[in-house]
Structure 1
Amino acid sequence: MVEDQDIFLRYGAEYRENHKLTLVQLKAMSAIEKCRTSQLGGHVDVCDNCGNTEISYNSCRNRHCPKCQSLAKERWIDNQKSNLLNIGYFHVVFTIPDTINLMAYQNQKEIYTLLFKTVAKTLSELASDKKYLGATLGFTSVLHTWSQNLMHHPHIHCIVPGGGLSSTVKWINSKNKFFIPVKVLSRKFRGKFLYYLKQLYHQNKLEFHGSQAYLANENEFEALLSSTYSKEWVVYCKPPFKNSASVVEYLGRYTHRVAISNKRIINIENGTVTFKWRDYKDESKCKIMTIAADEFIRRFLIHILPSRFMKIRHYGLLGNRNKTTKLKLCKQLTNTPIIIKEKLSTLMLIQKLTGRDCSKCPICGSPKRSSPMELCKSPPRITKTA
């Protein structure tokens, strides 16, 4: 299988020589190149009973590495199960127009934070309005910055419960269809985002470079905002989930996804990369795209988030201040069983997911003896005996 790691190992050095990268982009590239290789060290597991020997190299654990997200995703999902209520959930997506995309990329931390803030305020304020629900929500938001062809496309996925807690401490269920009309969501979101964006501008918290330099002129910036305000912004709601188990499965698909998974990459040859993508503008047809390797790397690096930037956030009833009090009350009001979380070790989680006990020899089932390998050493020559 061809992987992102193979592309970086083959073309990464040349790309770094020809392009100026941020420190966080350099770190991500380095981590992906070294992931599960002898450069990060590892462990040698030996079975004293049958002599079977296995090498396990350490993972880089970088959140942008396709190899390192599966276990992180499963651990996160396992932790979130206790926060789900016995009700229906909706999937709502908020997208900013492409006229703001380049500005967003040049000001990632500020505008991605603004995107979270605007989405949260839009949902919370409309949900508290008795015209729509008249209650407090508890929802999770996840930032994605890519489209299927790896272009810059910032948007936020929200998992929203079909109901909330009223001011009189009663649970209010929403209608079968999403309780806030999409057009109302869109226009409220648009107005709030542009209002806060204008605030950032006048606080001198935005930077403009290259083709965006003209926006340093206030008249040009105001003109951009006016043209953007005149457009309808894209907000859509997918059909509700059938049950909480479906929510967990869906959350896993979105929370720890990276710009492109290894399974979508088909081939690398003659300085090009070929990968699969889904064209949502053409009836979601699955297509094949071939681009130059340096263009592939450029697109991949667009989606490296600022250091320590939180891409998953919880609001309302799921906020840290409310989890132990209001969320517990909501479980009682919705007849949701109380789940006592069991903290699983990595070995226990792998066994739960795969059914395999990694502490035992796969040949004879006896306990394995594990010893660490030194860093940056070539793997020892191993002779396996059954």
Structure 2
Amino acid sequence: MPRRLMACLLTTTSLTLAACGGPEPAASTAPAAPAPATTAAAPATSDAPATKPLTATPVAIPQRQGDELLLAFAGDANAFKAAADSTEQGLGEAGRLLKAADWSMVNLETALADDQEGLTKQPKLYTFLTGRAFPQMLQREGVDLVSLANNHAMDFGVEGMKRTLKIRQDSELPMIGVGASQDDAFRPWTGEVHGRQVVALVGNDILESNMDWRPRDGRPGVAMVKTEEGFQTLVDGVAAQRREHPEAVVVVFMHWGVDYQVCTTGRQEKMAKKLADAGASIVVGTHAHRVQRAETIGSTYVAYGLGNFNFYSDRASTRETGVLTVHVPRSGAPTAEWAPGRIVDGRPVMLTGAEAEAARERWAGLRGGC
């Protein structure tokens, strides 16, 4: 699994390199993840999670053409209910796909803390919490970077975010999208992969109730793009990276869309266009819990919704999953291939044969226009 030779964080204001010395690896004796918390039981539904195991047939691994980069992406991941089993069991064939890529990224949909003592759940239907063992598993399974720019990173309020930032500081797996300040939350990740620079920026467009998750007045928070000002901060960051590094692969990972809606919204499409115009090479997204369509805007590849990944799913429609591998040539627009899967007991299980082909055809036929 070839990986980056160097990785740093950039400040969005000065765009000067921050210290490149990575944090010390998390200790192998790190506490196990605490039991995930929720303010309400999962709703009863006839679409109970599947329990019958699927085939373990190995999936086809994407093949590199020439000197292109292979970047892999997957959707929402946490350790809620049955999804916690992956902390010990790993990601199976989905992990093989992530490891086969030159670099990979997922959305880490949870607050992080070693225990729940002293933490207060926010007034939400679902609150997610896990310990450092879960991101350690993601790294073992081939993930190189996670986004915490989502609507669950502050499920346990400011104190929970402080503990999340402490785990981020200790983690060998880089985490972006949250921070002690606005600049920290929007700070990009940059690294060298096979001699090419890759930059990643993230933003969360989802806000629940009247909660305010922006970092301000000395309070930590999330890279929010719900306001015009917040989104412009992200767009300006993309444009600055493109100016500074014209040959770089610029990735934007968004948290956007409408829960359980497979078609894309006009807001998603407008935001994707602005990010493409600013210089993004790849835009991917999560949040809807559904796999959504993909398209190319100019020379920018956009995959609007990657669905759930390692995630407890209480209805059949949200158990569709997959790994997206994007082929990035040195010139021209990226292309991608979708390896479909199905969530079984919270974990991604990849499809093969006729099932996989049918799922790929459905994905290719998805349209927008909600």
| TM-score of Structure 1 vs Structure 2, range by shorter chain | under 0.3
Normalising to structure 2: TM-score of the pair? 0.23
Normalising to structure 1: TM-score of the pair? 0.23
The answer to which structure has the higher strand fraction is 2
Larger Rg: 1
Q: Which has the higher contact order (CA 8 A, sep 6+)?
A: 1
The answer to which structure has the higher helix fraction is 1
